[in-house]
Structure 1
């Protein structure tokens, strides 16, 4: 497990922006993050959980800015799982309020910085105001060519795979697809992440070491880094630490190590 040694972050919100790093270091094209630990961050400080979530949004702003500067092409964040609806109603309401605030306050700046927003997760049954905000974020930034920010909202990987299977079954039943034509590529095109490369690196904060129903199909060959830092304290130094660990990995994709010779 990685041990974070940098200081906790309590700095004010920062504007987005920056340019890809030209240092020549290998940068994963797609980084996915399980943003865990907001509640624990707040509890340890005697603060309400809502304050932990608010500080988590600030950490997200820092991370998007850092991803742009470091030259990451895709950043996927696990913002709200399909299981999170089981949390207390007041906490869910706080999270929805933060989502609305983030979109309303940050979307224009994301757009100015050429960020494209993609939303993955089930849309059925969402409140109209939430669904409308998600559609607005995607529509406004659809033609941008910089960082793609993929927001996993109302997302669960098993649900995503089940929906993909239903789409394939529907095509087979309608005669549009032969069963023998179903392969890994056919499944991938029905997933919410169709057109997005699989993650090279998945980071989870807070010290927990599991994927929690996040990108199970797409994570087949991802490198996993688990960090003890709580999400509100995540900053550029923490991201750089995770990228350094990624560079030390020997990625074989089922083949022989490059170090074998």
Structure 2
């Protein structure tokens, strides 16, 4: 049933973003392989979706795999790719029942055919769902997105479709990966690390930030509610000053 947002009508959250950090450390502390931590982290992702639905949050973006993560050991990268397919197949029916729409944000061309096929199926079969949009930032980098968007703008100018003098922030936004998705109100990073790590650099310009000490597999409803309660106390002015 609806929770945290109910008591904070002045600070309703539309879009939550989460950097799912700490899977490897969680596993190592338990004497497990790092890949085991990633599997536990994948299970936690569906739990997060349910938490967000209960709290009437409409969008949740999760940082699942960054453009920098290719530098990790090949076996670990392969496991993460397999987990994406595993997650979709395991929770396919549950996500349909809950009305969860899956969307992808990142660079598809560098992914395997298996992963790309899963992305295509996940997006096409869930397109009409309305309860929650789950956006997977997969092979994603904030700087890469800005560069890719800039290239598309240059191409539009060269085709005569865009006058450079008309370019502003609103028009630039139209060339981002998912221009229709609102900016995140709150970005949560578990694991105790306090940085964005190249996540949603354009969209997160005015997002509130919350850093939780728990590792991602240990993320609970209590963790989320602490973040939402803290968010409700924040005064979001977006560069303006408070009225007298």
TM above 0.5, yes or no, is yes
- Which residue of the other structure, out of 86, 89, 92, is the alignment partner of 1:107? 92
1:110-149 equivalences under 5 Å are 110-149=95-134
Q: Is 1:20–1:72's contact at 8 Å kept on the other side of the alignment?
A: no
Segments of 5+ residues of structure 1 without an aligned counterpart are 1-18
Task: Indicate the SS of the match to 2:48.
Answer: helix
1:7-156 equivalences under 5 Å are 19-21=1-3, 23-26=6-9, 27-156=12-141
Task: Indicate the SS of the match to 2:174.
Answer: helix
- C-alpha distance in 1 between matches for 2:238 and 2:178: 20
Relative to the length of structure 2, the TM-score reads 0.95
- Residue 159 of structure 1 corresponds to which residue in structure 2? 144
- C-alpha distance in 2 between matches for 1:99 and 1:175: 39
Relative to the length of structure 1, the TM-score reads 0.89
Q: How many positions carry a matched residue from both structures?
A: 241
- C-alpha distance in 2 between matches for 1:102 and 1:68: 18
The two structures, once aligned, show a CA RMSD in angstroms of 1.2
Q: Is 1:29–1:200's contact at 8 Å kept on the other side of the alignment?
A: yes
1:148-227 equivalences under 5 Å are 148-227=133-212
Task: Indicate the SS of the match to 1:229.
Answer: coil
- Higher share in helix: 2
Per-residue CA distance 1:94-136 (angstroms, 9 max, x = gap): 1111111101111221122111111100111321110010111
- C-alpha distance in 2 between matches for 1:117 and 1:239: 21
